[in-house]
Structure 1
Amino acid sequence: MESGVAVVLVFMVLAAVVVVGGIAWGIVAFTRRRAYIKSVQQRGWLFVNSPTFDAVARLGNPPFGIGFDRKPDDQITGMTGTGRPFQVIEYKNGHWSGWVGMVTLSRRLPELWITGGETAPRYGVLAQGVPAPPQLGPGWQVGALDVAFANAVLTPQLCQQLNAMAAGQPGVNLSIDGDQVVVLDPPRKELDRLGPWLEQLGAVAAAIDATPLDQWIQPEPPPRLTFYHHPEWYWIGVDDSLLQLAPVNRGGFGHRTDQVVRGRDGDGPPFIAFKHHWKTQRTETSTDSNGNSHSRTVTEHHSEPILGFQLPIRMPPLTVGRKGLSSGIEFESAAFNEQFAIFAQDPKYAYDVIHPRQMEYLMATPGAPFRLEGEWAWFSPGEHSQPAIAHCSVYLRGFLAGVPRFVWRNLGLAENPFPPLETPAVR
């Protein structure tokens, strides 16, 4: 008995030590944070503990503009010694987390990527490699969508400033994002270093501003969260009214939406995309060793991705899916029938839409199942993600381009609203 009591006492002492240690660590962390914030403020800068999305709304290139899980955190703002606004902010998305520093340019410019040392390119970047000018020296990589713009920006003056920055921070990872020069991993913990670092970044921005680049000025974007390389997509967040429009699962209770995105790609149909969440409950009954029955209510959580594209006119029901247990309408192509199951109330309408060239497109282009229903095309994308939405958008655009003109005319439109693309519809 005494040994049992001793064990209990030991555990109680250890638990108390852990609790006291945790409290002490919390006090130290709180004290250090307060001292850090005070030091920031003494430099004439502003510290924001929980910035809103407005802090990053003007930014659209990685690490911004990627995915649905985005979170800005601690933020420092102020002006450099030459009066140039700056921001240092903690940021996290589904693929990256860390700190970002930036200063403001006088113009909005196309994206440009410059990395030095052994720094890897940022996740999600789509750019063409551009030869780095000899003034930068070995180890530098340059990426851009417009090679002429990259060559115009990389003046000897800018190369000099980039080499100076690299001397104090090996592995520079810099980009132009609209009217901001953005660099990953600023020395934000060491404020005595951060000040000079920001001045050096301001010198980089000054070298860019001094270069005649007006022919590449970009238009001002709408003030909303956007998506990289999808300028007409925008973030909504929550819109439960969509549950009345979309073909969601109607069972259970607690229906809600999140991660709502709207937009379109070029002249393709506009879309809505979101995650639908709901709950169900069931009762479990068990019997204990004494033969007594016990019941408990179990709540289960469910979710599904919803993706719909608005059509320019009501279209008769038509489902395009992969071959499963149901074969659907038979077409003249045995190869097509082996891969696809097509369903429609009017077989003639199905034959008009799924003609031989349309069959070739569907067989050559992997895509998620979808159905045309009234004014909407509803997909079963399998996941709610930026790549899934983008792929379905291009896939449907190519399919609609293949619908014959006489079909559109029979529906009430004079011409096909989606003319054939000059380039392949889906890469």
Structure 2
Amino acid sequence: MVIAVLLVVAAIVWGIVALVRRQQYIGSIRQRGWSFVDSPTFDAVARLSNPPFGVGFLRKTDDQITGLTAAGRPFQVIEYKSTYWSGWVGMVTLSRRLPELWITGGETAPRYGVLAHGVHAPAQLGPGWQVGAMNPAFAQEVMTSKLCTQLNVLAAGQPGVNLGVDGDQIVVLNPPRKELDQLGPWLEQLGAIAAAIDATPLDHWIQPEPEPRLRFYHHPDWYWIGVDDNLLHYTPVRGGGYGHRTDEVIRGRDGDGPPFVAFKHHWKTSRTESYTDSDGNSRTRTVVENHSEPILGFQLPARMPQLSVGPKGFRDGISFESAAFNDRFAVHSADTKFAYDVIHPRQMEYLMATPGAPFRIVEDWVWFTPGEHSQPAIAFCAAYLRGFLGWVPRFVWRNLGLPDTPYPSLETTVG
């Protein structure tokens, strides 16, 4: 009992000390003319889409410091957590929205999920630096000697620089946010880097302004909804149980592919079980079990007869002229002629060369069984379905009431 009391007292004392230190820290921030927000909204990062932002569905913002550098350049230091990364990020504002650029120095590894082409780092940066960009020509133009000088200055005070350009923001991981006497000069160094980029003639690289919403890396037409329980009324969620709800709702499309909706469906079931208590008496109790499933659907521009495509199972499907296809796939349809029109030899070649998740067409929706609710799973199914729809012949779309195919083949023309 004495030990327990001492532990409780120690916890209370530690909590008081931590609270006092936090209030002193916040006071020091405000004394510098900066602002502090302990629970910032997603608006703080809604215009950012490059890692660590724009990746994964579980995202959380926490303590935020904002203000202006000595030159009047807006900055932000914020705590950010996602499925794949957790830590602090510092950023300053550029005068223009520019393409994606990545610069790392020291032993720093590239950020999770980054897609970029490696570009030769200028000799002025010295050894250990890496540069990456989706467009190498942009990287070559932006990596001026003035920028290299400022990067070396930043690296002198922060070994392991991890810097990126995300729209109109210079974004750097792991700012020295605990030591405010170090944070101020560090932000001024970021401001000098931003000034070097602003001084470079890059107007021909200016990017369009995106909509201010939670975005996804390399998927500009995806956007976060969060919760939309109306989806439960028209999507193929499992019935039974109770407490049905949605979360992590995503909508969007990739390129000219069909628009999609993806989310997680949660529900509960209860059962009564018998057990024997410590006195040997028989009793009953209610056990509540939680369930979830991923839902992913793509909306078509016209209603189609029912059709399902999946791996060969216990049930034989429609027989096609390819024995190899029949051995691997089971196709079921309420309209056999429609199935033969859609699953023609070139379509069979595509399906066998590009295996994907099972799917079924129900009226004007294509519903997948993706196995998981994740950004890679959605992107893969979107590309897989776009390829499938590209091999649906034109006459099929015309028979469905459309003037032409809405999804031209990515390889050749299907008549």
What's the TM-score once normalised by structure 2's chain length?
A: 0.98
- Please state if 1:55 is matched with 2:44: yes
Distance 2:64 2:410 in 1: 44
* 1:292 Cα deviation after fit: 3.2
- Please state if 1:367 is matched with 2:369: no
Q: In 2 relative to 1, CA 289–135 (structure 1 residues): closer, same or farther, beyond 3 Å?
A: closer
What's 2:8 paired with? 19
What's 1:311 paired with? 300
Amino acid paired to 1:349: F
* 1:291 Cα deviation after fit: 5.8
Which consecutive unaligned segments of at least 5 residues does structure 2 have? Answer: none
Of 160, 171, 178, 2:160 maps to 171
Of 72, 77, 82, 1:88 maps to 77
Distance 1:399 1:225 in 2: 29
Q: In 2 relative to 1, CA 75–291 (structure 1 residues): closer, same or farther, beyond 3 Å?
A: closer
* 1:409 Cα deviation after fit: 1.0
Q: Identity of counterpart residues, as a percentage?
A: 76
Distance 1:410 1:181 in 2: 52
What's 1:237 paired with? 226
Distance 2:279 2:171 in 1: 68
Partner secondary structure for residue 236 of structure 2:
coil
- Please state if 1:28 is matched with 2:17: yes
- Please state if 1:413 is matched with 2:414: no
Distance 1:404 1:110 in 2: 38
- The answer to which of 131-140 and 281-290 deviates more is 281-290
What's 2:373 paired with? 384
What's 2:319 paired with? 330
Amino acid paired to 2:380: H
Distance 2:214 2:342 in 1: 37
What's 2:246 paired with? 257
Equivalences for 1:20-419 in 2 at 5 Å?
A: 20-288=9-277, 292-419=281-408
Distance 2:146 2:355 in 1: 48
Superimposed CA distance per residue, residues 151-207 of structure 1 (whole angstroms, 9 cap, x where no aligned partner):
110000000000011011111100000000000000000000000000010000000
* 1:413 Cα deviation after fit: 1.1
* Deviation beyond 6 Å, 4+ runs, structure 1: none
Distance 2:297 2:59 in 1: 23
Superimposed CA distance per residue, residues 304-341 of structure 1 (whole angstroms, 9 cap, x where no aligned partner):
00000000100110000111111111111111111111
Which consecutive unaligned segments of at least 5 residues does structure 1 have? Answer: 1-11
What's 1:9 paired with? none
Distance 1:104 1:166 in 2: 20
Q: In 2 relative to 1, CA 202–291 (structure 1 residues): closer, same or farther, beyond 3 Å?
A: closer
Distance 1:125 1:287 in 2: 56
Partner secondary structure for residue 207 of structure 2:
coil
Partner secondary structure for residue 308 of structure 1:
strand
Amino acid paired to 1:272: V
Distance 1:370 1:171 in 2: 46
- The answer to which of 406-415 and 311-320 deviates more is 406-415
- The answer to which of 390-399 and 342-351 deviates more is 342-351
Distance 2:234 2:34 in 1: 48
Give the number of aligned pairs: 412
Distance 1:288 1:39 in 2: 58
Partner secondary structure for residue 196 of structure 2:
helix
